Amino acid sequence: MLSRELISTLAKSGRIEILRTLKAYHDRQFTINELARTSGVPVMTTWRAVRELKAAGLLKTRRIGNSTAVWITDDPAKLRTLRTVPDTDPQKAAARAFAESLSAQPWLVECRLFGTVGRGDHRPGEEVDVAVVYDESVTEEQAKASSTEAAAALLGRTNVSVVPLCVSSKEMGRRGGLGSELRDKETIWERKRG
């Protein structure tokens, strides 16, 4: 059973990602910089998270020269607690499910994750921003209608709110503007070419 204090700690930005990374590489020790890079969490957030997760007994650390080595605890009671931490972020999982549900549409080119979930600094329950890139075979209104319908169905199943932003493939190819801002965002679904 998770305590209220532990739930509060885990709800903070980056904590779940750090635990997932350490669980995935349970036989390895990371420096703070390596852990930040591997988990995709900013270095300062990683420092704070390691300090809090160590205080909760979930991590162990030791100094190696100027660095701090971090690894997951070997305490059986704490490991049982860690098994209750989900291996997937519910908001990212919902974004992928949304994209997969739209993938049957022949006009869908790709879906990209952006906003707080895309940056990884979201809180539980926040809505998920997904860019839905469509081709010229449909209008923006048709793409919006299908995307809104898929988001509503997903909300009913998962209780996670996905907010689609429909963008034409032509707009994605332009220099500047919205397309250029979205091009570096994480692609969560892409139509295979060829």
Domains located in the chain, CATH noted: 4-83 (1.10.10.10), 90-190 (3.30.460.10)
pLDDT in tens, 95-116: 989 999 999 999 999 999 999 8
CA separation for the pair 98, 131 (Å, rounded): 11
Higher pLDDT, 122 or 54: 54
Residues 6+ apart with CB under 8 A from 95: 111, 113, 117, 128, 130, 162, 188
Q: 152 to each of 93, 101, 146, 156, how far by Cα in Å? A: 16, 11, 10, 6
Tell me which of 15-19, 86-90, 180-184 is least confident. 86-90
Q: Residue 54's pLDDT band (boundaries 50, 70, 90)?
A: very high
Higher pLDDT, 123 or 185: 185
For 76, phi then psi, to 5°, come to: -55, -40
CA separation for the pair 133, 173 (Å, rounded): 11
Cβ contact 92:160 at 8 Å:
no
| DSSP H helix total and E strand total for the chain | 10, 7
165 beta partners: 131
pLDDT in tens, 160-193: 899 999 999 999 998 888 988 998 898 999 998 7
